[in-house]
Amino acid sequence: MLLEKMLQSQGFGARKHCQQLIKTGAITIHDEVITDPKHKLNLNDLVFAVHGTQYEYREKIYIALNKPKGYECSHQATHHFSVFDLFDDVHLNRGLQCVGRLDQDTTGLLLLTDDGQFLQALTHPKKHVPKVYQMHTADPVTPEQILQLQQGVELRNEKGIFAATGVEALGTHQLQMTVHQGVYHQVKRMLAAVGNKVEQLHRAQIGQLNLTHLNALPEGKWVYLTAEQIALAKYRAE
């Protein structure tokens, strides 16, 4: 791949801007300043620097964010911050998208990518990738509510029955459960359907990927996923 095309693919702007970066000596590869936009590259394990900041070539990007409260999963956030405020223009220029959404008041594991196939694999309704949620409830969690959630509840304006697996009381007002669909406000609506209310909601796991796999990623921070972590996120029980 030509150097100018590589830079463009990595989010460094339009072709003309990338050519300008190269010609002004901003690009370094293996401690050598490259000033030819048509310089041919081997992309395997390519590391390059732009104005002294080092980058790895990534054909696609897969990111895990520990989402803080008060951030919307929208590029045009209206009443709160946007999760995209946590990323620089280089990432945004690549067309970074949220893999599913979390409400502004929900915290926890959020994946982002510029890979449309990966996004589809995790969000398509037929894929049933499990997601583990932990919550604080307004009222004490009862055995009857746990049973109802396991057996399934009806949700207004939705077809079918919505059941959770791994439903477990973590305290008198704390609950953990796994959902396998992805309808709007599903967890909150399921709790309402059994006569309780979610006060705080946290997503702990997607597929088999959880925050412990990410070295207890601090809130508001993000990391690139490894190939192994990507596979964990896509895992679903057959």
First to last CA, the chain: 40
Are 48 and 73 part of one and the same domain? Answer: no
What's the number of CA atoms in the CB half-sphere (13 Å) around residue 37? 13
Looking at the structure, tell me whether residues 22 and 36 fall in a common domain.
yes
Domain co-membership, 82 together with 177:
no
* 78/121 same-domain check: yes
The percent of residues above 70 in pLDDT, for the chain, comes to 99
Q: What does the alpha-carbon distance between residue 92 and residue 96 come to, in Å, rounded to a whole number?
A: 5
Distance CA 238, CA 224 (A): 27
Kindly state whether residues 79 and 106 are assigned to the same domain: yes
pLDDT of 45 over the 80 cut: yes
The number of domains in the chain is: 3
Buried b (16+ CB within 10 A) or exposed e, 192-212: ebeebebeebbbbbbbbbbbe
* Domain identity same for 176 and 200: yes
CA dist 145 to 44, 106, 123, Å?
Answer: 53, 22, 28
Confidence of residue 238 (pLDDT cuts 50, 70, 90): low
Q: What is the pLDDT of residue 213?
A: 87
Q: Residue 25 and residue 162: Cα distance in Å, rounded?
A: 58
Counting every residue written for the chain, the total comes to 238
Q: In the listed set 12, 38, 56, which residue is the last one of a domain according to the structure?
A: 56
Predicted confidence at residue 46, as pLDDT, reads 97
- Residues 233, 49: Cα–Cα separation, whole Å: 30
pLDDT of residue 126: 74
Give me the domain span that covers residue 93: 62-125+208-234
In angstroms, rounded to a whole number, what is the distance separating the alpha carbons of residues 96 and 127?
22
Residues 6-30 have pLDDT tens digits of 999 999 999 999 999 999 999 999 9
- Quick count: other Cβ atoms within 10 Å of Cβ 75? 13
Q: What percent of the chain has pLDDT over 90?
A: 88
pLDDT tens digits, 89-144 = 999 999 999 999 999 999 999 999 999 999 998 987 777 899 999 999 999 999 99
Burial (CB count within 10 angstroms: exposed 0-12, middle 13-18, buried 19+), residue 116: exposed
- Dump pLDDT digits (tens) for 57-86: 999 999 999 999 999 999 888 889 999 999
Catalytic residues: 103
What CATH code is carried by the domain that includes residue 229?
A: 3.30.70.580
| Same-domain check for residues 97 and 120 | yes
Q: Are 216 and 101 contained in the same domain?
A: yes
The dihedral through the CA atoms of 143, 174, 187, 150 has a sign that is negative
CB 175 within 8 A of CB 182: no
Per-residue pLDDT tens digits for 140-169: 999 999 999 999 999 999 999 999 999 999
Average pLDDT across the chain, whole number? 95
pTM of model > 0.75: yes
Q: Give 237's pLDDT tier (boundaries 50, 70, 90).
A: low
Q: Which residue has the tokens 């996004």?
A: 119
The answer on 198 and 138 residing in a single domain is yes
Q: Which one, of 81, 165, 182, 174, lies nearest residue 129 by Cα?
A: 182
pLDDT at 145: 98
194 and 157 inside one domain: yes
pLDDT at residue 127, as a whole number:
74
